[in-house]
């Protein structure tokens, strides 16, 4: 059994620093790994990323993250990445990591993701170059996620994104902004591999549970949605335990 803690959209800056740490000190007793589903900072500055490093570094379990749109806002991504990796936090973007948990190999593939919308109501690669570039960006990112998932050699496979791969977990958000919250292409990528769980953030007003068309469980772990420092999902080798204490 692998216990996966996850939270997104912690939006750390100096004002928030310390909010999560008391709960995080107990995390190693409750989980084997922590996933951070993007929007780690408020505006994507290196200074804020150093606050994230202070808050989430040195936990005693592997911490694996993807960035979110907020982490790109000030165009300081290299500095943000340096601050996080210096604190031992692994940041994925089109790649993956395998963590050994008591002999079971947990594979996590991650991308930030991007928008575009969902089947039947999505943007298409047509018309102005700006629209083509928007849709192509999502397509490229989704292809990288799918390849990273398929290439994983592991027992339990998890997809980590910031943007949503399905509309289910957006319920509660205005329909008008769905195309800016995620893309069905991410869901297709997740379904292209035997993925056990998909975790995302970004939809602060969305809902917690969904499923890809292929049946993969999707969980929105945005902090405003889960309303706790992190959720814990228990996954067994080859499948998600139906009796998971986390209520998966």
Number of chain residues interacting with Fe ion (CB under 5 A)? 5
Question: Using CA atoms, how far apart are residues 236 and 132, in angstroms rounded to an integer?
Answer: 41
| CB 112, CB 141: distance < 8 Å | yes
Q: Specify the residue, 12 or 64, whose C-beta has the smaller distance to Fe ion.
A: 12
Q: Specify the residue, 69 or 140, whose C-beta has the smaller distance to Fe ion.
A: 69
> In Å, how far from its chain's centre is CA 71?
13
Contact positions with Fe ion (CB under 5 A) in 36-65: 39
- Tokens 């007793």 belong to which residue? 29
CB of 170 to Fe ion, least distance (A): 12
Contact positions with Fe ion (CB under 5 A) in 61-80: 68-69
Q: Which stretch binds Fe ion (CB under 5 A): 8-16, 17-25, 106-114, 180-188?
A: 8-16
Q: Site map for Fe ion, 184-213, x if CB under 5 A?
A: ------------------x-----------
Question: Using CA atoms, how far apart are residues 172 and 161, in angstroms rounded to an integer?
Answer: 19
Question: Using CA atoms, how far apart are residues 32 and 26, in angstroms rounded to an integer?
Answer: 12
The residue among 24, 76, 85 whose CA lies nearest residue 48 is 76
CA angle 111, 114, 117 (to 5 degrees): 135
Q: Specify the residue, 39 or 48, whose C-beta has the smaller distance to Fe ion.
A: 39
- Would you count residue 224 as binding Fe ion (CB under 5 A)? no
DSSP character at residue 180: G
CB of 215 to Fe ion, least distance (A): 26
Phi, psi dihedral angles at 186 (to 5 degrees): -65, -40
Q: Site map for Fe ion, 141-180, x if CB under 5 A?
A: ----------------------------------------
Q: Specify the residue, 39 or 196, whose C-beta has the smaller distance to Fe ion.
A: 39
Contact positions vs Fe ion (CB under 5 A): 9, 39, 68-69, 202
């Amino acid at each position: 059994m692998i216990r996966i803690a996850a939270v997104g959209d912690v939006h750390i800056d100096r004002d928030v620093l310390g909010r999560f740490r008391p709960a995080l000190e107990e995390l190693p007793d409750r989980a084997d790994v922590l996933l951070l589903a993007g929007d780690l900072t408020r505006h994507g500055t290196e200074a804020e990323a150093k606050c994230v490093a202070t808050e989430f570094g040195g936990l005693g379990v592997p911490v694996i993250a993807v960035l979110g749109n907020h982490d790109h806002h000030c165009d300081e991504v290299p500095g943000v990445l340096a601050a996080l990796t210096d604190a031992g936090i692994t940041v994925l973007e089109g790649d993956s990591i395998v963590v050994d948990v008591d002999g079971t190999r947990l594979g996590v593939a991650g991308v930030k993701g991007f928008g575009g919308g969902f089947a039947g109501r999505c943007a298409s690669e047509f018309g102005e170059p700006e629209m083509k570039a928007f849709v192509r960006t999502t397509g490229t990112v989704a292809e990288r996620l799918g390849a990273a998932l398929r290439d994983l050699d592991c027992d339990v496979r998890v997809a980590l994104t910031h943007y949503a791969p399905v509309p289910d977990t957006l319920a509660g958000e205005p329909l008008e902004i769905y195309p800016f919250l995620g893309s069905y292409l991410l869901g297709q990528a997740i379904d292209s591999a035997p993925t056990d769980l998909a975790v995302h953030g970004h939809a602060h007003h969305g809902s917690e549970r969904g499923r890809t068309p292929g049946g993969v469980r999707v969980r929105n772990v945005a902090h405003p949605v889960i309303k706790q420092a992190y959720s814990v999902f228990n996954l067994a080798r080859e499948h998600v335990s139906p009796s998971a204490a986390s209520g998966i």
